[in-house]
Amino acid sequence: MRSALVVGTGLVGTSVALALSERGVAVHLRDVDPVAVRTAASLGAGTVDGSADVVDLAIVAVPPALVGRILADIQAEGVARHYTDVASVKAGPQQDVIALECDTVHYVGGHPMAGAERSGPLAARANLFEGRTWVLTPTPDTETETLNTALELVALCGATPVLMGAAAHDRAVGLVSHTPHVVASLVAMRLEQAEERAVSLAGPGIRDLTRIAASDPQLWVDILSANAGVVADILEGLAADLDDAVAGLRAMASTDDAKRSGGAQIVEGMLRRGNTGRARIPGKHDGRPARYEAVAVLIGDQPGELAKLFTDADRAGINIEDVRLEHSTGQLAGLVFLSVAQGAAVGLEETLRARGWRLR
């Protein structure tokens, strides 16, 4: 890929443009907002579009509802050999593209799965997509050369491509991203009116569960509205399971022994299925859940404690696979959980004890 046109210089569009420019691709920039496009250009994302040449790839980086219309416009202009987009939902834009009779042979939908706490070109980074998954949604129409050009885009941005159908993509992000967001918010909502003393007992479990409930509501309404039907379907399934859980718990609270044990069976069955589902979430390197052992270390709160701890852990020659900090309310001391490959915990514990660390 030698040349590209980015239409829409928001966070994602400008980040794509920066990544491509860094790799030597000649990038042209367009946006309805002249300030946004000049800002992106001043950051080194490319040049404000003035070229009459046909580029290799046009990247439509506009909100989902506008993808079809913008694609139709720039295809009518004939600006590029191949076309893609970066919208976070795929079925709606695909329907629009077909309804507007766009050229679907030279177009493939895309969704780079990178976080976006802030928006606009000033928040853009060339490495926004590094190490992230980038879904592409080819159809039977899509020409191989178009798909290959999109795959080159993904590679130039440092991301990992995954091919899926548009509807399957929307169901997947509905399940693993949109639904968890709503659920985290619903649980956090219950803390809104809770007694101060009750909230003071909150520990790492509910803290991790509600982390994503701190996100920007306006941004998430936009995301959810583009996939609302899918998310509603998944939440309805969840609501049915929730009713079963409540019925099971009510039976567990009964004075009747048979009822109690029946309720416990229902609830235990659900917890076991939760175990199974949780175990399917991919681990670190191989896409499969890894088995780790955790070593829990007590640390003080002085600067440098973590540096010392990791330097000492390093002496054991053991790779730390994951790290989690846990602090109690009102306490200076904290616990650091170091996850290591199965079988490696004993060696790490010996090293740390020998260096004076207190393990739990």
Are 132 and 91 in contact by the 8 Å Cβ rule? The answer is no
Smallest gap from residue 320 Cβ to its own copies (A) = 6
Are 64 and 92 in contact by the 8 Å Cβ rule? The answer is yes
* Binding residues for its own copies restricted to 48-107, rule: CB under 8 A: none
Rounded (5°) CA angle 321-323-328: 160
Kindly state whether residue 255 participates in binding its own copies, applying the rule CB under 8 A: no
Is the Cβ of residue 120 or residue 334 nearer to its own copies in the bound state?
334
Is the Cβ of residue 33 or residue 250 nearer to its own copies in the bound state?
250
Kindly state whether residue 132 participates in binding its own copies, applying the rule CB under 8 A: yes
Angle between helices 11-22 and 144-156 (to 10 degrees): 90
Q: Which member of 54, 122, 167, 325 binds its own copies (CB under 8 A)?
A: 325
Kindly state whether residue 139 participates in binding its own copies, applying the rule CB under 8 A: no
Smallest gap from residue 158 Cβ to its own copies (A) = 9
Q: Which member of 78, 329, 342, 343 binds its own copies (CB under 8 A)?
A: 329
Q: Contact letters (x/-) for its own copies, 6-35, by CB under 8 A?
A: ------------------------------
Is the Cβ of residue 79 or residue 213 nearer to its own copies in the bound state?
213
What is the spatial distance between Cα 7 and Cα 61, in angstroms, rounded to a whole number? 6
Kindly state whether residue 245 participates in binding its own copies, applying the rule CB under 8 A: yes
* Binding residues for its own copies restricted to 157-176, rule: CB under 8 A: 160, 162, 164, 168, 171-173, 175-176
What is the spatial distance between Cα 333 and Cα 358, in angstroms, rounded to a whole number? 11
* Binding residues for its own copies restricted to 259-288, rule: CB under 8 A: 260, 263-264, 267-268, 270-287
DSSP 100: T
Kindly state whether residue 232 participates in binding its own copies, applying the rule CB under 8 A: yes
Is the Cβ of residue 130 or residue 350 nearer to its own copies in the bound state?
130
Q: Is the dihedral of CA 34, 35, 36, 41 positive or negative?
A: positive
Q: What is the CA radius of gyration of the chain?
A: 25
Q: Is the dihedral of CA 196, 202, 206, 208 positive or negative?
A: positive
* Binding residues for its own copies restricted to 171-230, rule: CB under 8 A: 171-173, 175-177, 179-192, 194-195, 197-203, 205-215, 217-218, 220-221, 224-225, 228-229
Q: Which member of 34, 78, 140, 330 binds its own copies (CB under 8 A)?
A: 330
Distances in Å between the Cα of 184 and the Cα atoms of 27, 57, 179 are 40, 39, 9
Residue 268 corresponds to which tokens in the numbers above? 């235990």
Beta bridge partners, 30, equal 7
Smallest gap from residue 32 Cβ to its own copies (A) = 22
Q: Which member of 66, 151, 155, 318 binds its own copies (CB under 8 A)?
A: 318
Q: How many CB atoms lie within 10 A of CB 266?
A: 16
Residue 229 corresponds to which tokens in the numbers above? 């039907």
Distances in Å between the Cα of 346 and the Cα atoms of 123, 340, 341 are 44, 10, 11
Kindly state whether residue 243 participates in binding its own copies, applying the rule CB under 8 A: yes
Q: Integer distance in angstroms from the first to the last C-alpha of the chain?
A: 54
Smallest gap from residue 321 Cβ to its own copies (A) = 8
Q: Which member of 34, 50, 131, 343 binds its own copies (CB under 8 A)?
A: 131
Which residues are within 8 A (CB) of 37 and not within 5 positions of it... i.e. 6 or more apart? 9, 29, 30, 31, 48, 49
What is the spatial distance between Cα 209 and Cα 124, in angstroms, rounded to a whole number? 28
Q: Which member of 331, 342, 343, 356 binds its own copies (CB under 8 A)?
A: 331
Q: Which member of 44, 47, 310, 353 binds its own copies (CB under 8 A)?
A: 310
How many residues contact its own copies, by CB under 8 A?
132
